[in-house]
Amino acid sequence: MKIKAPVPRPIPIHGEDFSTYAWHPNMSHDKILRVSKSSLGQFQTCEQQYFIKYVLGVKEPENDNMIRGTNVHDAYEFIMDRSLDVEHAAKLRDEQGYDAVKAYFFSLIPPAQIKKGWTDEYAKPTGEDYRLEEPAHLQRLMEAEARRFMTSAPDAFKPVGNELGVDAIVELDINGTKVKVHLNGFIDRLFMDNEGNYHVHELKTGMWKDKKTKYESMAKEMAFYVYMLKKSTQPDFGGVSVSYWGWDHTKGHENNPEEIYRHVEHIKADVIMDMLTDLKALASAHLRYKGDNDGKMFATKPSGSERFFCEPWCAIKGFCPKYERHMMPHELRPKREGN
């Protein structure tokens, strides 16, 4: 485990303000709360885990799922930005049909991992072999994209935003107290059809399971993107209204792991409202935080959850009040009065 306490960082669209995950009300007025799709999702899953990871800055080691996800994302971004020739694909479609389009899309899969630099100029294959079945995930994705191309207008096929960085500033009313929040994140893909309708789309390398909680979690992620885009004042995409959202799971469906799971639907206002309720709950918890490493206002999972959530999944139990504190570094232990 690594511990890297979050520090206030400049907000791109507000040059004089800074945001941090560790915000508390005693900070100066130029410091505000930062929230990302991932941090809000973590708060929704387990408030105490959110506190440990984002507020205290405890970083768990990168695992295979994280590495695979990064590699697949980078390869797909490279294909869309650098490799895909839409005019050539359209000619194959018109003259030879789906099998030729599918073969072409498969040929675009990078032969080795993609290395991304600070600018996209440096995105290129590294020569380092894939080792986590990334080609299988990319083949399922490219097959789905080939099918999509067969029914798409060529000039609307590519995303208008690829790994799109977005920032927005919103002000929340928490029981009469105004809390300014910096919404920050990268949207995997933003598409626009020929009628001008926007669509946000997420890429996941896990397996889809037909569970209510799984759907609710994914839909709230999309709701965060939709709300952030609407509230952003950035050029090009700030303030746009999104009509559709969706997601891919390249490991397939639990009942059909051979094909990608792709879901698309019209945005749902009630999900956006639920997401805003969670966002306000997160800000409310921060209003009660004193900046002293004591996160009692960030609730632990209810009793009985250990068997189903904490024990199988949580990598930071040693930092949690539910468990023994012998693993917790001394400097992160809550400060007690009189000590």
Three-state DSSP state, 163: strand
Q: Rounded to whole angstroms, how far apart are CA atoms 279 and 261?
A: 28
First and final C-alpha spacing in the chain:
27
pTM (whole model) above 0.75: yes
Phi, psi of 228 (to 5 degrees): -65, -45
Burial class (CB in 10 A: 0-12, 13-18, 19+), 330: exposed
CA-based R_g, the chain, Å:
22
Q: Are 171 and 179 in contact (CB under 8 A)?
A: yes
Residue type, 170: V
pLDDT of residue 318: 79
Query: How confident is the prediction for the chain on average, in pLDDT?
Result: 89
| The token pair that represents 241 in the structure block | 């209204």
CA angle 316, 319, 325 (to 5 degrees): 130
Average of pLDDT values for 136-157?
95
H-run or E-run covering 73: helix 64-78
Average of pLDDT values for 30-51?
94
Q: Are 205 and 68 in contact (CB under 8 A)?
A: yes
* Domain boundaries defined on the chain: 64-156
In tens, the pLDDT along 60-76 reads 888 899 899 999 999 99
Max Cα distance, the chain (Å): 81
Q: Rounded to whole angstroms, how far apart are CA atoms 40 and 298?
A: 13
Q: Rounded to whole angstroms, how far apart are CA atoms 261 and 250?
A: 6
pLDDT of residue 90: 97
pLDDT of residue 338: 41
Residue 336 — pLDDT band, cuts 50, 70, 90?
A: very low
Average of pLDDT values for 306-320?
78
Residue 309 — pLDDT band, cuts 50, 70, 90?
A: confident
In tens, the pLDDT along 286-305 reads 999 999 888 889 988 777 77
Percentage of residues in the chain having pLDDT higher than 90: 66
Q: Are 332 and 319 in contact (CB under 8 A)?
A: yes
pLDDT at 50 over 80: yes
